[in-house]
């Protein structure tokens, strides 16, 4: 296992803007507060969503799209540097009007309402290519 102690420089709450993109808004928050590494949890609702699923045999993502209003019942993720840019690695659990849950890696989603708690770390986190999983991981 690869672990490190981190120091929280600042802690934030944010309300995401209706109509904007969920993941881009979280990356904008990190940008606004100049955080190169952060951890967040969030909740809210979206107007649509594109989840990505990773095929562990093919080592590639494929998208699953939802074109309907969904609750964001859970959102957990972190901000790191990926090829120089801030990247919010974001996993969510969504639900429809019957309570049925859908979940996975969030690529994009149009915000209806969103509430985020973010802890910004002093130490940067940088992703690099990992040969075993063919994913970009902290190394």
Binding to its own copies (CB under 8 A) within 66-125 occurs at 66, 69, 71-78, 89, 91-105, 112-113, 115-117, 119, 121, 125
Nearest approach, Cβ of residue 66 and its own copies (Å): 8
**CA pair distance 127, 139, nearest whole angstrom:** 7
Burial classification of residue 138, based on how many CB atoms lie within 10 Å of its CB (0-12 exposed, 13-18 middle, 19 or more buried): middle
| Token code pair at residue 138 | 């902290």
60 interacts with its own copies by CB under 8 A = no
34 in contact with its own copies (CB under 8 A): no
Q: Is 58 in the site for its own copies (CB under 8 A)?
A: no
Q: Determine, following the binding rule CB under 8 A, whether residue 22 of this chain makes contact with its own copies.
A: no
Give Cα 8 to chain centroid, integer Å.
19
- Give the binding-site size for its own copies (rule: CB under 8 A): 79
The only residue of 22, 23, 35, 51 in contact with its own copies, by rule CB under 8 A: 51
Question: Rounded to the nearest 5°, which phi and psi values hold at 70?
Answer: -140, 145
């Amino acid at each position: 296992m690869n672990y490190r102690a981190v120091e929280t420089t600042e802690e934030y709450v944010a309300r995401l803007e209706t109509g904007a993109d969920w993941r881009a808004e979280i990356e904008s928050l990190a940008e606004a507060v100049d955080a190169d590494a952060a951890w967040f949890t969030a909740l809210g609702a979206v107007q649509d969503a594109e989840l990505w699923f990773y095929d562990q045999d093919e080592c590639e993502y494929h998208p699953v799209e939802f074109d309907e209003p969904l609750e964001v019942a859970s959102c957990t993720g972190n901000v790191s540097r990926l090829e120089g840019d801030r990247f919010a690695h974001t996993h969510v659990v969504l639900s429809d009007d019957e309570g049925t849950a859908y979940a996975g890696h969030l690529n994009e989603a149009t915000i209806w309402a969103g509430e985020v708690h973010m802890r910004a770390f002093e130490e940067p986190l940088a992703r690099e290519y990992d040969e075993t999983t063919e994913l970009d991981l902290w190394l």
